[in-house]
Amino acid sequence: MKNYFKYLIITFILTSFIVSQVTEGMVEFRMGKHNALQLILMSADKKLVESEWKHYTKAIGKSKKKKREFITMGVNLSGLSNPVDWYMKLDKSKKDVLLQLCVISNEEFLSSSNQNDNYRVIEKYLEDFVFIVEKAKVRAEYETERKKLTKLQKELKKLSEDYDSNIKSIEKYTKKIEKAKKENKSLLKTQIKTKDEISKQGLVVEEILNNPSDSINEGEVSSEYKEANKKLLKLQKKLEKLVDQHGANLKSIDKSIKKIEKSKKDNKSILKDQAKTKKKISEQGQVVEELRKLLGSMN
């Protein structure tokens, strides 16, 4: 894939240089239809071409944009016999961008027939611009692919964090299960003890009821009964609470088991995703490296 990708990029750039030759012909501008130098920039973004043109021509004069035309006055390129004024416009044609440049030199519209020497200088200037655009395209492609690589690396980091989080979750709920089981073991012992105490206290209450005090009037209960029954009720509530705690621990254990199972299942899936993402990172890293090398060779 690495060599194939490199081959595609280089082939595409060479094809762009071959096809993107400067031609001339009559073009409609705001000031009328005049001869212009024309250049097709293959598979280029119009905004990218416009940005690169501004940067490329910055050293030779300030451009003003009026109704889609870039006007630069007093352009003095090295090799020109005199300063020139030019009008440039860009048109999008499918995937390509058509650059059209109308030049006024010595008060006439420049062509290869009336001022050949000046024409050749500007023609060479436009041919060099092809390389500038191609380099910008590679730079843009490099940035796009580099962002993809960064995104994949972040995805891998997130997967790793999720995996570690699940491991901690498994450890957490395993400890919770162990704690709940230990508590329930203790609760069962306390329940048996409390049931025995309830049974004994029930006998005490029953004995008091069967042998009422002579000082108690009919329909009344003694303070001794009240105290004994109060103790019995307290033991019964204690048993209810112990049973509730035991049940709550069983639910907690069941919930923790499900959490552990889910975390294990998620981690199994994460490991597969990590393997896929690592492979993508390796492939994307090769693409980025080839573009970086290509960009370096274009300096």
Q: Which residue has the tokens 């994949």?
A: 152
Give the C-alpha separation, 146 to 141, whole Å: 8
| Per-residue pLDDT at 4 | 44
CATH number for 153-297 (one of 3.40.50, 1.10.287, 2.60.40, 1.10.3470): it is: 1.10.287
Torsion angles phi and psi, residue 220, rounded to 5: -105, 160
The domain ranges of the chain are 2-145, 153-297
Alpha helices in the chain (DSSP H): 2-19, 46-57, 116-210, 223-297
- Do residues 40 and 49 lie in contact, with contact meaning Cβ atoms separated by under 8 Å? no
Two structure tokens written together for 10: 């280089």
Give the C-alpha separation, 125 to 61, whole Å: 14
The CATH number of domain 2-145 is 3.30.310: yes
Tens digit of pLDDT at every position of the chain (299 positions): 445 455 455 555 555 444 568 999 999 999 999 999 999 999 999 999 999 999 999 999 888 989 899 999 999 999 999 999 999 999 998 889 999 999 999 999 999 999 999 999 999 999 999 999 999 999 999 999 999 999 999 999 999 999 999 999 999 999 999 999 999 999 999 999 999 999 999 999 888 888 766 555 555 667 888 898 999 999 999 999 999 999 999 999 999 999 999 999 999 999 999 999 999 999 999 999 999 999 998 87
DSSP helix/strand/coil, 81: coil
Which residue, 91, 88, 94, is CA-closest to 75?
Answer: 88
C-alpha separations of 60 from 28, 84, 222, 249, 280 in Å: 25, 11, 116, 82, 45
pTM score of the predicted model: 0.74
